Amino acid sequence: MILSELKSLLASHPERHFRIRLPDASPVPLSFHVTEVGHVHKTFLDCGGTSRENHTCQLQVWVGGDYNHRIETGKMAAILEKGKFLPPDDSVPVEIEYEDKVISQYTITGHEISAEAVVLVLAHKHTECLAPELCGLPSIDRLPAISGKKSCCAPTSAEP
């Protein structure tokens, strides 16, 4: 989900509860806080030697001891409004950072709307080879390296 879609979703349902569902279908506890709105700019070199950039709007979610805390969609919209100067524009993807034993980052793959709440549905982020043609990997699927081709990403490879 990109930032403009999230803002539109919140604006369309300003009086509902704001909820988050983890990839295993369990909910983030109702007493969560959104403690950060951030712009994450990642500049990196992929395994094929190509320089790349990635921009995201990251929302950090934290569960504190105040178990009666609840966040509504209108309040979430106001939080995003306060941080509107951070991302370069509203076309950046939104990710959720949440700690449950370890800090994890999730993508938002969808949402559900009920009479009471707007629920963001999260998915795990995954790593992948960004230069499959140079590493001897099929470009569409995450399959083992093509037979007879050495992967540049293999632990024994001399290439980056």
Q: What are phi and psi of 53, to 5 degrees?
A: -135, 150
Q: Which band of pLDDT confidence, cut at 50, 70 and 90, is reported for residue 140? A: low
Q: Where are the domains of the chain?
A: 3-126, 129-160
Three-state secondary structure call for residue 11: helix
Nearest to 56 by CA among 88, 20, 101, 24: 88
How high is the pLDDT of residue 106? Answer: 98
**Which two tokens mark 41?**
């700019």
How high is the pLDDT of residue 81? Answer: 95
Tell me the per-residue pLDDT of 15-69, one tens digit each, with 9 for 90 and over: 999 999 999 999 999 999 999 999 999 999 998 899 999 999 999 999 988 888 8
Please tell me what DSSP assigns to residue 19. E
- pLDDT above 70: percentage of residues in the chain: 86
How do beta strands 117-124 and 94-100 pair? unpaired
pTM: 0.82
| Mean pLDDT value across residues 152-159 | 47
Q: Which band of pLDDT confidence, cut at 50, 70 and 90, is reported for residue 141? A: low
Residue 124 has pLDDT above 50, yes or no: yes
Count of alpha carbons within 13 angstroms of residue 67, beta-carbon side: 0
How high is the pLDDT of residue 135? Answer: 82
Where is pLDDT greater, at 107 or 131? 107
CA 146 to chain centre: 31
